[in-house]
Structure 1
Amino acid sequence: MQWGLPWPGAEQARAAEAAGAIAFCTGEFADVDAYVTSTEMALGSSSAAVGPGIAYAFARSPFVHASALRHLHRLAPERVFLGLGAGSFRMNRDWFGVDSSHAAPRMSELIRVIRAFLTAENGEPITFDGRFYSIDADVRAPVFGALDIPILIGAFNKYMVRTVGRDADGILGHGIFTDRWWSEAVAPELAFGAADSGRSVDDITRWGWVITAVDDDDPEAAIAAARRQIAFYLTVKTYDPLVELHGWQDEVAAIRRAFRESPTTIGDHVSDDMLWSIAICGDTAQASEMLGKRTDLPDVGFLSCPSFLVGRRARARFNDAAIGFAGDRLAAIG
C-alpha cells in the first residue's frame, strides 16, 4: 500500500512528502470547502497528488467542478485528482437545495460532463444531452486544452460501486472499509461495472481512508480514539450492510443507544474484532501487527487520524506519528 494523508497543513505535509507520502486529500463540510483546501494543498506541497477526497458532487454544476480543476492544475500541474461523493439524499435536499434522486446514474452523467469540459480543446463546443444534465457550451475564450485528471468516486452501495466500474478512474473507500468489505462487496461490483462497459477492472484504482492512531507514549489513548471514531461512523445506518456482513449488529445497536444517551462512551462498545478489522492503532508494535494482518488494503491509503472528540493538538500528534510510522513501516512492506 502506498500512502498519503488528509491535509495536515504545509509543515507536516513537507515531512510527509519526505517520508514517502504520494497524495493529500480533503473532505468538506459546512465550514470547510474542498476546493479551497485543495488550493492550500497545491501551494503547500511539491510532489504529492492533491485533490478533494471527497467534494459534494451534486452541490456544484459540472462546469464549476471542471473550472476549479483547471485552476488547480495551473497551481499543481499533473498532480490533481478529483474525488466526488454523492452525499445523502437529505443533505442534498435540505442543505444544498438540489435534487440527488437516482444518485448512481446521476453520478455517471456528472463524470461524463466533467470529462467533456476537461478534455475540450480551444474552440471546441461542449455538448451533452442526458437525463440529468443538458449542456451546450460554446466557450470562445482560449482557456481550454485537454487535461487528464483522474476522477474517483466515494462509493459504498453496489450501484455506486458499479458506476465506478463503468465510468470512473477509481474508488475512494470509506475509513470503515474492512478487508472483507473490499474483497467480498466492493471487488465483485467493480468487476460487474467494468465488464458492463468493456473495461478491465485492473485499470480501476482503489484508494481509501484508513483510521490510524499511533502513540508510543500513550497507546491506550490512541486505541480509545480509534474506537470512538469507528463507533461514530457506525452511528450512520448507511453502513448497516457492512455491519451485517461481519455480524456486528449487537455492538452497533449498543453504540447507537450510547450515542443518544452518552456520546463520549460510544467507543466502549467497539469490540476487538471491529477494531482490528478497521483500524491501525496503539503503539508502533501493535500498529505494525494490525497492518500485517490486513490482507486487502487499498492501493493508496490515506492515514486518517481520529477526529471525533479529538482536539487539534492531538490530531497534529497523531499525524506526526502516522508520518513516522508510514515512513518506517509502509516503506518496508511496499
Structure 2
Amino acid sequence: MEIHTTLVQDNLARVPDEIRRIESAGYDGVMTQENRHDPFLPLAVAAVSSERVTLGTGVAISFPRSPMVLANTCWDLQSASGGRFVLGIGPQVKGHNERRFSVPWTPPAPRMKEYIQALRAIWACWKSGGKELDFQGEHYQFSLMTPNFTPEPMAYEAPPITMAAVGPAMLRVAGEVADGVRLHAFCTRRYIENVILPQLETGLVRGQRQRSDLQVTGGGFLVTGATDEEVAQNLEFYRSRVAFYGATRAYWPVLEQHDLLDLGAKLNQMARDGQWQAMPAEVSDDVMQLFAAIGRHDEVVAEIQRQFGGLSDAIADSTSYDMPGTLPADLIQEIQALPTPWAGFRS
C-alpha cells in the first residue's frame, strides 16, 4: 500500500525543505489541491528539489483548462521530475464551473472520458515527434500541431491519469479509461464494496482491463497520533468533516448503507439553522469507526487493514496542507507492507 501526504502550497519558498523532509521520512508521494492556490506550481518546485517521491495533483479541476494547456503543464512536470508526476483531475460541480470558473457545464462523465482520451492523443503526438494530430470528439477537437509547438523529446512515459469519482457514471469512466480513481474521503468499507467496486468493475470490463490496472486511492480517513491525546485531538477534526459531509444530500447514499439517513437529515437541518459548531457532537464514535482507521501509531496498521485492506491501494495521512504529514518512518514502512490489488501504472 502506498502512503501519501499533502505538500505545502501557501508559500513556494517552503517547498524545497518540506519535500525533502517528506522524502526522507519515506512517504511514497505528495499531493496538491486546487482550493486557494494553484496545484501545479508547488509540484514544479518539488520536481527539482526531490529525487524519489511521486508528485500528484489531488485534484486539479479539468474543464476550465483546455486539454492542450494541461498537456503542456504535465509534460513539463513529467520531464522535470524524471517521470514521477501523476495527474489527478476532477470535474468539480456545476455551480463552480459556471460561477467560479465561468465555463459552460455539460454532463461530466462523457466529457471527462473524452478529456482523458484527448490528453493521451496529444501526448502520443508529441512522443512521436509531432506527427499528425487528429482528435475529433464531441467536446474537444485537436488537429493542429507544428514543430514550433511540439515539446522537446522526453525520455519518460506520458504521465498516468487519475480522476476523482463519486457518482456511478464517473466511477464507470474511471474504470474504463483512467489509470487510477481518487475516492472521496466520505466513504465506508460497506459503501465501497456494495456501490463503488461494482461500478468500477463495469468500467473495467468495458475497457477490457483488470482491477490490477487501476490504482484506487482513498475512500476514508486516517486518524492517528503518537499518543491517545493526539489521536483524540485529531479525531475531533475529522468528526467535524464527517458532520459537514453528512449534512449534504449528495453524500447520503453512503449513510443509507448503514441506516443513518436520520443522522443526515438532522445534520442537514442543523446546517440550515447555522448550528455548525454543534453538528460534530451528533457524530458518534461508532459512526467515526465506519469512516476512519483510528488508533495510535503502534496500533493503527491493523485499523488501516480493517478499513482499507483489499480495497484501496493508496491512502493519505492528510487532507489539507494545513496539516502536514508527520508519520514516523517505521509506521510508513508498516503501511507500505500491506498488500493491495494494484500492480502499478502501465505504459
Query: Under TM normalisation by the shorter chain, which class is it?
Result: 0.7 to 0.9
1:243 is the counterpart of 2:248: no
1:6 corresponds in structure 2 to: 6
Kept after mapping to 2: 8 A contact 1:93/1:100: yes
Question: Would you say 1:94 and 2:94 are equivalent positions?
Answer: no
The one-letter code matched in structure 2 to 1:189 is: Q
Matched, 1:132 2:142: no
Partner of 1:231: 243
Describe the shift of the 1:179–1:200 C-alpha distance in structure 2 as closer, same or farther (beyond 3 A): same
2:344 counterpart residue number: none
Would you say 1:15 and 2:21 are equivalent positions?
Answer: yes
Residue 187 of structure 1: which of 197, 204, 229 is its match? 197
CA distance in 2: counterparts of 1:278 and 1:84, whole angstroms: 24
Write out per-residue CA displacement over residues 176-216 of structure 1, whole angstroms, 9 at most, x where no aligned residue: 22222222212111111121232223311212264233231
Cα distance, 1:297–1:323 mapped onto 2, change above 3 Å? farther
Q: Which residue of 1 aligns with 2:48?
A: 43
Q: 1:328 to 1:255 in 2, by over 3 A?
A: farther
- Alpha-carbon separation, structure 2, partners of 1:135 and 1:100: 20
**How far 1:333 moved relative to its partner?**
4.2
Contact map agreement 2:26 2:333 (CA 8 A) in 1 = no
Deviation string, structure 1 residues 269-319 (Cα, Å, up to 9, x no partner): 222232112223453356345324224441011222578xxxx4xx24xx2
Task: Give the deviation of 1:67 after TM superposition.
Answer: 0.4
Q: Structure 1 residue 274 and structure 2 residue 287: aligned?
A: yes
Gaps of 5+ in 2: 9-14, 340-347
Count how many residue pairs are aligned between Structure 1 and Structure 2: 324
The letter for the 2-side match of 1:188 is P
Once the two structures are superposed, the pairs formed by residues 55-134 of structure 1 within 5 Å of their partners are: 55-120=60-125, 121-134=128-141
How far apart in 2 are the matches of 1:151 and 1:331? 22
User: Is the CA contact 1:213–1:225 (under 8 Å) kept in the aligned structure 2?
Assistant: no
Say if 1:181 and 1:325 are closer, same or farther in 2 by CA, change over 3 A.
farther
Q: Which of 286, 292, 298 is the matching residue for 2:312? A: 298
The two structures, once aligned, show a CA RMSD in angstroms of 2.4
Native 8 Å contact 1:154 1:174 kept in 2: yes
Q: In 2, are the aligned partners of 1:212 and 1:279 still within 8 Å (CA)?
A: yes
CA offsets per residue over residues 125-183 of structure 1, 9 Å max, x none? Answer: 32211111111122222515474211011001110011011111111111122222222
Q: Percent identity?
A: 24
Who is 1:53 aligned against? 58
Flag the 1:332–1:134 CA change in 2: closer, same or farther, 3 A: closer
Structure-1 residue corresponding to 2:297: 284
Which of these residues, 20, 24, 30, is aligned with residue 30 of structure 2?
24
The change in CA–CA distance for 1:169 and 1:331 in structure 2 (over 3 A counts) is closer
Cα distance in structure 2, aligned partners of 1:175 and 1:255: 18
CA distance in 1, matches of 2:297, 2:254: 28
Instruction: Report 1:251-266 matches (<5 A).
Output: 251-260=263-272, 261-266=274-279
Aligned amino acid, residue 279 of structure 1: A
1:34-54 CA-partner distances (Å, limit 9, x unpaired):
112322332343211112111
Name stretches of at least 5 consecutive residues in structure 1 with no aligned partner.
none
Match of 2:159 in 1: 149
Residues of 1 paired with 2:175 and 2:336: CA distance?
A: 29
Assess if the C-alpha contact under 8 Å between 1:213 and 1:305 holds in 2: no
- C-alpha separation in 2, matches of 1:284 and 1:306: 20
**Which deviates more from structure 2 when the two are superposed, residues 135-144 or residues 324-333?**
324-333
Q: CA–CA distance in 2 between the matches of 1:288 and 1:252?
A: 30
Question: Relative to total residues, which structure has the larger helix share, 1 or 2?
Answer: 1
Give the whole-Å Cα distance in 2 for the aligned partners of 1:160 and 1:239: 15
> Hey, what's the Cα distance between the residues in 1 that align with 2:99 and 2:79?
34
TM-score relative to the length of structure 2: 0.85
In 1, the alpha carbon distance for the partners of 2:184 and 2:130 equals 40
Which of 7-16 and 109-118 deviates more?
A: 7-16
